[in-house]
Amino acid sequence: MIDGKKVLLSGMQSTGIITLGNYLGALKNWVDLNDDEGIECFYAVMDLHSITVRQNPAELRKNGRTLYALYMAAGLDPVKNCLFFQSHVPAHPQLAWILNCFTYMGEMNRMTQFKDKAAKHADNVNTGLFTYPVLMAADILLYQADMVPVGKDQLQHLEITRDIANRFNGIYGDVFTIPEAYMGKSGAKIMSLQDPSKKMSKSDENPNGSILLLDDKDTIMRKFKKAVTDSDGLIAYNDDKPGIKNLIDIYCAVTGKTVDGAVKEFDGMGYGKLKEAVGEAVADELAPVQAKFNELINDKAYVDGIMKENAAKASYYANKTLRKVMKKVGFIELPR
């Protein structure tokens, strides 16, 4: 709790330009919390997590700045929320090291994301990838977060965070708040336009599978035109028609319409018309975000100022927890 408010923490990796999936599944829902007086929100650019997969330094820098500006361009208020870079708060890797010593190999071995990512990057199965969930536990526990909005894919990591926190508290007393999954308005899970059986992803090798937040209207329309559907030409919402279902999900998430309403609206129309309508709706949704982004990315002084203020705010809360942890573990405080 901070000043009687519950604490919420989330973030995204700066591994590329974020997708419509990241936006509809996470960022847009965070923006809805701007005016919730009962929640203190921390949103990080998770750049430390990003290097578990090899990154080009210049691109990582660019992607980090882009993501930070997109947080604000999408509507996250940098005064009401704390928007910061994970690498600007050294307490994250410091706490992660300590928590590593309270985490068992067997627990990490069970993590399905590690298995998936290790298979995908077989040439670089580094220990950072293996201990990723411990850094994530540090991210969450440093801010004494009560709530963490998580997709199904991250539930296992939240569970391990709770296990580590409970283990630590069991030895040293009540140091950490035990976080819960935040089940606010559930964000849509957006699938790849080229393979609706897998989620839309910023690091997808097929550029036509993902709508990136900075894609221009022509690109958006072209990608939707190429979206994989099926051959029966019927607009219906069910699991046998994953391509159409995904297009309707996107349409509803963007317009706020219901699935039934959307299915009625498109009844009797061809797939071409559906794709065009979804493309138009997405382009309309992203246009103001892109306009604001262009303003922000050209105002380095303003963004740098926000970055500094927010890093100081995040560090204040993170260091408070870290100091407590270090004292409990038995480290000597540096004399003032």
Per CB under 6 A, residues contacting ligand AQP are 12-13, 15, 19, 21-22, 25-26, 46, 151, 187, 189-190, 199-203
Nearest CA to 289 out of 66, 91, 122, 74 is that of 74
Active-site annotation holder among 202, 223, 241, 275: 202
Residue of 28, 199, 241, 275 marked catalytic: 199
Rg (CA), the chain: 21
Q: What counts of helices (H) and strands (E) characterise the chain?
A: 14, 5
In angstroms, the CA 97 to CA 110 distance is 20
Distance, CA of 145 to chain centre: 16
**Of 103 and 201, CB closest to ligand AQP:** 201
Nearest CA to 128 among 96, 86, 175?
96
Tell me how far apart the alpha carbons of residues 209 and 226 are, in angstroms, rounded to a whole number: 9
Identify the H or E element spanning 158: helix 155-172
If the CB atoms of residues 127 and 203 are measured against ligand AQP, the closer one turns out to be: 203
User: Please, which residue, 24 or 325, has the CB nearer to ligand AQP?
Assistant: 24
* Shortest CB 3 distance to ligand AQP, Å: 26
Give the Cα separation of 10 and 334 in Å (integer): 31
Residue nearest ligand AQP (C-beta atom):
25
199 counts as catalytic: yes
Residue (146 or 204) nearer to ligand AQP, CB:
204
CB 9 to ligand AQP: min, Å: 11
Distance, in Å, from the CA atom of 140 to the CA atom of 300, rounded to the nearest integer, reads 29
Output the smallest distance, CB 120 to ligand AQP, in A: 9
Distance CA(223)–CA(218), nearest Å, equals: 9
Q: How far is the CB of 116 from ligand AQP (least distance, A)?
A: 10
DSSP H/E element including 85: strand 81-85
Q: Of 13 and 81, which has the nearer Cβ to ligand AQP? A: 13
Beta-strand ranges (E) seen in 172-258 are 180-182
From CA 185, how far away is CA 208, in angstroms rounded? 28
5 assigned to active site: no
User: Angle at Cα 312 formed by Cα 182 and Cα 63, nearest 5°?
Assistant: 70
d(CA 123, CA 132) in angstroms, rounded, equals: 17
Our answer to whether residue 313 is catalytic in this structure is no
**Which residue in 6, 117, 241, 275 is the catalytic one?**
117
Q: CB 71 → ligand AQP: shortest distance, Å? A: 11
Residue closer to ligand AQP (CB basis): 22 or 87 = 22
The set of catalytic residues is 117, 199, 202
